[in-house]
Amino acid sequence: MSALTNAAAEILAQAEPLSAADQKGIAGASGAGMAYGLAAIGPGIGIGYLVGQAVQAMARQPESAGQVQTTMFLGIAFTEALALIGFVVFILLKFV
């Protein structure tokens, strides 16, 4: 065990300290991953629920399928906007 920690300490000692630009890049990349991951949770649940309910409505009343479909696309567009803003934040953090 102590041999292992010694080896680890040696490896750590060999590593050069990170430059400010590297640290910024690492923080940006991990922040970008977190931002998109968190932003995808809510819309994921929302779109799943929305489409499920729309399928149920279409199955119960096939003659209103067209109207339900249009409303479903509208709902998806509004829900999806949050995930897409998360994606834009991802791009801004990662690349800008």
Partner 1 sequence: MLSALTNPAILLASEEGGGGVEFPPINLIVKWPSAFGEGQWYGFNKIALISLIAMAVPVLLFWLAGRKASLVPTGIQNVMESSIDFVEKQVVLPAIGPDGMRYLPMLVSMFFFIWIGNLFEVIPTAHMPANARMANPVMLAVVAWAMFIGVGVKHHGLRYFKDALFPPGVPKALYLLVTPIEFLSTFLIRPFSLAVRLFANMLAGHILLVTFSVLTITLVAEGILAVVGGLSFAMLVAFTGFEFMVAFLQAFIFSLLTAVYIGGALHPAH
Binding residues (CB under 8 A) for partner 1: these are 66-67, 70-71, 73-74, 76-78, 80-81, 84-85, 87-88, 91, 94-95
Nearer to partner 1, 3 or 96 (CB): 96
- What is the rounded CA–CA span in Å between residue 8 and residue 2? 10
CB of 17 to partner 1, least distance (A): 21
The CA–CA distances, whole Å, from 36 to 27, 49, 69, 71 equal 14, 20, 28, 27
Q: Which is nearer to partner 1, 59 or 70 (CB)?
A: 70
Closer of 47 and 76 to partner 1 (Cβ): 76
C-beta separation of 80 from 47 below 8 A:
yes
Minimum separation from the CB atom of position 51 to partner 1 (A): 14
Phi, psi of 84 (to 5 degrees): -70, -35
Say how many C-beta atoms besides its own lie within 10 A of residue 33's C-beta: 13
Closest CB 56 distance from partner 1, rounded Å? 20
